[in-house]
Amino acid sequence: MSTFITNCRIVSAGLDIANGSLEIKNDIIENIFHNNITEIPTGSEIIDAQRNIVFPGFIDIHTHGAMGCDVTDGKVESIEKIAETKLREGVTTFCPTTLTLPFEDLKKACESVEEYKRNTTFAKVAGMHLEGPFISQKAIGAQNPKFIKKPDINFVRDLHNVSKVAIVSFAIEVEGASELIAELNKMGIVPSCAHSSAIYADFKKAKKYGLKNITHYCNQITPLHHREIGLVGAGLIDDDVKLELICDTIHVCPDMIQLTFKVRHADNIMLITDSMSASWLKDGNYKLGGLDVIVENCAARIAASGALAGSTLKYYQSLKNVYDITGIPLSEIIKVTSYNQASSLGLKDVGKIEKGYKADLLIVDSNFKPLKAFVNGKKFIL
């Protein structure tokens, strides 16, 4: 039996159909219609989108938690709650993201994610994102300095053997970083620069070894200066590296968002939330990696240092912010929510509305707030 989504605007990478329809069969997009079809086979499920928008499901490659739960809790219940909450934001695929913690804590996080993957009930997991522990003491941010380590591919391999690792974020200037980049690429893991005091020369060296991304661009990396462009400058000048961007207008101000999209094409930008456990909850006191965090006016900061400690951002809000700030056509902007992430991770059948792709879809209102979601064709009312 097929499911038909009718009476909708369909927006995907390079696609904007003002009044179309979609057919889902099993877990696949079977057909895309450039008109609102009315002749539908008997026995089919019909979902009238009521002129709302259909997007590809969002892919959040950097999220630590939500609704009081953290990836590093080491509990499958926490991963399930995060997956359920992310789905309410429109995220149909995510990368559970860890922190700079001891190996045993990270192993427990991987075990809990692997247990969730065996019985995926909400958003799907594309793989772990290890943020740290191979970071710079000079760019700690919201990480715990007690657990910083030098790059160690065996450390990553041991965790990868517990649950697939998709991304490793680390400082590219520290001893052993170049070798780590090369080995990660051999394993099919995305190397990303984070919590780094690297200069532009370090970046160019890392690119030669296969660096792919810059993690939470502009945050805890070397700033742009007219005598040393640093990693912020590298992100503006390099045509290939992909940039993770937290568009809550706190981590990156609206002017910087506008500048980044003006200089870099949307093909190489990926919206993330970097959300922490306080996401979806009220202002107050929380924890992140064992550190005390205060959330005030939606901004999460480490109590001791005042450093930003992830975000409380909902994914769909980031898209609305970018759309309002830049004015770039929706069929271009939508790439930064899904298609670019899928391409970066080598996911061949998600991130786009196209015949033969997985039916990971959203029906959203005019403010991009999700109303319904589909994960492998399964419907969720949000």
Task: Specify the DSSP element, H or E, that contains 293.
Answer: strand 291-296
What integer pLDDT is reported at residue 287 of this predicted model? 87
Please write the tens of the pLDDT for every residue from 184-210: 999 999 999 999 999 999 999 999 999
With bands split at pLDDT 50, 70 and 90, how would you rate the model's confidence at 38? confident
Query: How many residues are there in the chain?
Result: 382
Fold of 2-55+360-381: Urease, subunit C; domain 1 (2.30.40)
C-beta atoms surrounding 351 within 10 Å: 29
Using alpha carbons, select from 46, 188, 60 the residue that is nearest to residue 122: 60
With bands split at pLDDT 50, 70 and 90, how would you rate the model's confidence at 37? confident
What integer pLDDT is reported at residue 352 of this predicted model? 97
Q: How far apart are CA 184 and CA 210, in angstroms?
A: 9
Task: Spell out the domain ranges in the chain.
Answer: 2-55+360-381, 56-345
Tokens linked to 42? 């008997």
Tokens linked to 38? 């009315």
Report whether pLDDT(341) > 90. Answer: yes
Report whether pLDDT(39) > 90. Answer: no
Q: How far apart are CA 332 and CA 34, in angstroms?
A: 19
Report the amino acid identity of residue 249. Answer: T
With bands split at pLDDT 50, 70 and 90, how would you rate the model's confidence at 111? very high
Q: Same topology for domains 2-55+360-381 and 56-345, yes or no?
A: no
Mean pLDDT of 169-183: 98
CB 268 within 8 A of CB 55: no
What integer pLDDT is reported at residue 289 of this predicted model? 83
Q: How far apart are CA 87 and CA 90, in angstroms?
A: 5
Using alpha carbons, select from 286, 247, 270 the residue that is nearest to residue 142: 286
3-state DSSP of 136-178: CHHHCCCCCHHHCCCCCHHHHHHHHCCCCEEEEEECCCCCCHH
Percent of the chain with pLDDT over 70: 100
Report whether pLDDT(233) > 90. Answer: yes
Please write the tens of the pLDDT for every residue from 256-307: 999 999 999 999 999 999 999 999 999 999 988 888 999 999 999 999 899 9
Tokens linked to 127? 């793989």
What integer pLDDT is reported at residue 1 of this predicted model? 83
Strands of 190-241, DSSP E = 190-193, 213-214
What integer pLDDT is reported at residue 152 of this predicted model? 98
Q: So what CATH class is 56-345? A: alpha beta
